[in-house]
């Protein structure tokens, strides 16, 4: 699937959310789906997050696959969304992607500044890891 198709899918997950509380509950629900049995290294730590987030990237047949974990459910939900958006894309597609789900879901007004900064930090690390695969 393309980045745009992935983004449409992510937006559809929130289509029934009517208010801030429902968006938060959806993020928590999605966060419960983020599972990782991987052992992470210090270099996998995403700097700039209020919670502890680890992220790695492997490449298979020219496509990037990310694995992550976080210590807070809302952060896990945000990371889960990013994995839905970017897993299975080529490094070039990831670097060129312009995610607008943040604006479309009004996350910039729903998230605390520290959570919004954390989301931006994870997104930046995803793009940096993809650039290393170019």
pLDDT-derived band at 25, boundaries 50, 70, 90: very high
Residue 108 has pLDDT above 90, yes or no: no
Q: Per the confidence metrics, is the pTM higher than 0.75?
A: yes
Residue 33 has pLDDT above 90, yes or no: yes
Does the annotation mark 49 as catalytic?
A: yes
For residues 11 and 23, what is the distance between their CA atoms, to the nearest angstrom?
Answer: 11
Among residues 17, 49, 57, 64, the one annotated as catalytic is 49
- pLDDT tens digit string along 37-46? 899 999 999 9
Domain annotation for the chain: domains and CATH numbers: 3-132 (3.90.1010.10)
CB under 8 Å to 95, separation ≥6 — which residues?
A: 127, 130, 131, 134
- Two structure tokens written together for 76: 């896990």
């Amino acid at each position: 699937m393309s980045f745009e198709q992935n983004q449409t899918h992510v937006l559809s997950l929130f289509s029934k959310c009517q208010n801030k509380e429902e968006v938060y509950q959806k993020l928590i629900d999605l966060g419960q789906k983020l599972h990782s049995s991987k052992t992470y290294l210090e270099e996998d730590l995403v700097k700039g997050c209020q919670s502890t987030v680890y992220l790695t990237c492997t490449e298979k047949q020219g496509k990037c696959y990310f694995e992550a974990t976080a210590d807070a459910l809302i952060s896990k939900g945000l990371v889960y969304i990013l994995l839905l958006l970017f897993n299975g894309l080529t490094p070039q597609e990831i670097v060129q992607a312009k995610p607008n789900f943040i604006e479309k879901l009004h996350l910039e007004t729903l998230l605390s500044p520290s959570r919004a900064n954390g989301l931006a930090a994870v997104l930046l690390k995803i793009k940096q890891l993809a650039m290393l695969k170019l």
